[in-house]
Amino acid sequence: MSNTQPKKPHILFLFSDTGGGHRSAAEAIIEALQIEYNGRVSTEMVDIFKNHAPLPLNRFPEWYPYMVRIPQIWGLGFRLSDGHPQARFIIDSSWPYVRSAIQKMIASHPCDLIVSVHPLANAPFLRALGKDRPPFITVVTDLVSTHALWYERRADLCLVPTEAAYQRALKYQLRPEQVKVVGLPVADRFCQPPGNRHQLRETLNWPQEIPMILLVGGGEGMGPLEKTAHAISEARLPAGLAIVTGRNQKLKERLEAERWHPHTFIYGFARNMPELMAAADILVTKAGPGTISEALNASLPMILYSHLPGQEDGNITYVTEEGAGIYAPHPDLVVAGIRTWLQQPELLKKAAEACRRLARPQAARTIANILAKAVGLTP
């Protein structure tokens, strides 16, 4: 009698570090797979540019932070390329150049299921895979303004975060049964019920008696974070301020060298963001999809002070029209929005209720269960 253990199904995730959201989404799904299936599935992440693409495409991840520093040009590029004919032209024109690299990558990473969390991985990989291939599932990691390249009709399934993204999928000729609205996957620590706020603030050494404003700029401390921080502090609002500079160490050091209004706290790359969100009353943030989803799970009203044109345009509309936050693209407008919420706490409460309504804390686990079913696993 053989003691050989059955082979674990293997899932390959296609991503790229062009922005932090693709990696974060893949990691959140992998985490959920391990929670739900306790080691019964193996996973692997491959950066489609850095690890395998030919020059100069393999440099995209390191170029990306510089490319988005001119947001108007980035937004123009997004809009000019967003459409079915444009997307097809991009894929067809680049295919002769990338075909060999993609085929080698596929041959060197055998798997039972491919999951794409990057729009540029869909059409080229499905073309290279041909008909005799493992299942291919796309997980869209933009909230609303989803580029046409996300929607490839040859994919077996397309998992989207919002109803707006679902409608975009239908617009680009995906079949209704091919698309499911599941929410945006975020790490499990952002999906837990909030702890006791009093205890959280005590641990953080935050004041108990005044509202707290949490100001963030993403992992890289992007956007007009410094100007916004000064505007909030100089307004002398009846609130405390916590500033998270992310990996921008120079900004952190610069802020720490200044004198601030009492009850101001400055953090670098914060590994306790769920606790900071749960303890705060208002979030001031760039309109990134991951941060928005995390804030919704925390029932934390948002003031969106900057965004990346093109792919984040719809995020602003989504948050404001659903009542979960305010768009304030200037430090003075941020201050005005905070002041309104502080003076009219019923409006802040209403925004928190909207966040709870929109939250999808089970998104990563829902996706994990869909992927597990695709490789023949049962809970």
Domain 10-188+361-374 has CATH 3.40.50.2000: yes
Q: Which residue has the higher pLDDT, 211 or 56?
A: 211
Phi and psi angles of residue 155, each rounded to the nearest 5 degrees, phi first: -65, 150
pLDDT tens per residue, range 89-143: 999 999 999 999 999 999 999 999 999 999 999 999 999 999 999 999 999 999 9
Please determine, for residue 222, whether its predicted confidence score (pLDDT) is greater than 90.
Answer: no
- Burial degree of 164 (CB within 10 A; 0-12, 13-18, 19+): middle
**Distances in Å between the alpha carbon of 91 and those of 65, 117, 220, 267, 346?**
24, 17, 30, 42, 50
Q: What is the edge-to-edge ordering of all strands in the sheet holding 212-216?
A: 264-267, 240-244, 212-216, 282-286, 302-306, 325-327
pLDDT band of 232, cuts 50, 70, 90: very high
**Distances in Å between the alpha carbon of 167 and those of 56, 145, 157, 284?**
34, 11, 15, 29
Query: In the chain, where does the domain assigned CATH 3.40.50.2000 lie?
Result: 10-188+361-374, 193-358
Q: How far apart are CA 24 and CA 19, in angstroms?
A: 10
pLDDT tens per residue, range 264-279: 999 998 999 999 999 9
- Residue 335, number of CB atoms within 10 A of its CB: 20
The pLDDT score that the predictor gives to residue 229 is 95
Give 212's strand partners.
240
Q: Which residue has the higher pLDDT, 76 or 361?
A: 361
| Contact (Cβ atoms closer than 8 angstroms) between residue 159 and residue 137 | yes
pLDDT tens per residue, range 143-178: 999 999 999 999 999 999 999 999 999 999 999 999
Please determine, for residue 66, whether its predicted confidence score (pLDDT) is greater than 70.
Answer: yes
**Distances in Å between the alpha carbon of 186 and those of 23, 120, 128, 159, 292?**
10, 21, 30, 14, 10
Helix residue ranges, H only, the chain: 21-37, 60-67, 71-81, 84-108, 122-129, 163-171, 197-204, 225-234, 249-256, 273-279, 289-297, 313-321, 331-343, 345-358, 363-374
Please determine, for residue 319, whether its predicted confidence score (pLDDT) is greater than 90.
Answer: yes
Please determine, for residue 207, whether its predicted confidence score (pLDDT) is greater than 90.
Answer: yes
Class of domain 193-358: alpha beta
Rg of the chain (C-alpha set):
22
- Residue 10, number of CB atoms within 10 A of its CB: 16
Q: How far apart are CA 233 and CA 264, in angstroms?
A: 8
Q: Which two tokens stand for residue 285?
A: 């943030």
Mean pLDDT over all residues of the chain? 93
